Chains A and B, each alone.
Chain A
Amino acid sequence: AIQLTQSPSSLSASVGDRVTVTCRASQGITSGLAWYQQKPGRAPKLLISDDSSMVSGVPSRFSGGGSGTVFTLTISSLQPEDFATYYCQQFNNHPYTYTFGQGTKVEIK
């Protein structure tokens, strides 16, 4: 099964900073990669699907990119409400599985 490894596992940043989270896959991904945001005590929220497609209502400061085995989530100007944990996720049909990365916690510096 494909493994997803996020880096860094955590980071400290200030409001206004540009932040990039990387998700590396153990094999090439062909079904598209998604990104989720989760705040403490809350359910995850879908931000980006198909590598770079923004979900309706998600602020434009979030963007996704990459292909193959390396993908990125970028927050162009970090806002107070963006402090959260971010997860990447992919689907593979041989075997039929959905996999999440281990998460990246974005904290206030």
Chain B
Amino acid sequence: QVQLEESGGGVVQPGRSLRLSCAASGFTFSSYGMHWVRQAPGKGLEWVAVIWYDGGNKFYGDSVKGRFAISRDNTKNTLYLQMNSLRAEDTAVYYCARESLGFSSTMDVWGQGTTVTVSS
């Protein structure tokens, strides 16, 4: 079945780095754009970044621009999020999500999330 599984979360000190991974299965990963979306404790959803199906374009939310980098390895069916210069406000559950095919610009498959805690 179609599945996304995040990993790499944990507790990290402010200013340090962390890399998240998202393993995809059950669909042709290289045909889909992919997102990272986060949710701070008790808060709503915040879009973080998107990467096109071939990695040719990447876009970021304002709060992470210049600090986070999204990438993918289509040979490994894996999405990544490199997070640098982490701040307390980056503490959240991070979800990877698949962009729907077509023109709807929605996220039709989600992983279960991985928790990142930035604290000294």
Contact = CB atoms under 8 A, between A and B. Distances in A.
A45 B95 CA distance: 12
Contacts, number: 63
For chain A, what secondary structure do more than half of its interface residues adopt (helix, strand, loop), or is it mixed? strand
Interface of B: 35, 37, 44-47, 50, 59, 61-62, 95, 97, 100, 103-108, 110-113
A98 B104 contact: no
B47 A97 contact: yes
Nearest to B105: A91
Interface of A: 1, 31-32, 34, 36, 38, 42-46, 49-50, 53, 55, 87, 89-91, 96-103
A44 B100 contact: no
B50 A43 contact: no
Contacts of B110: 43-45
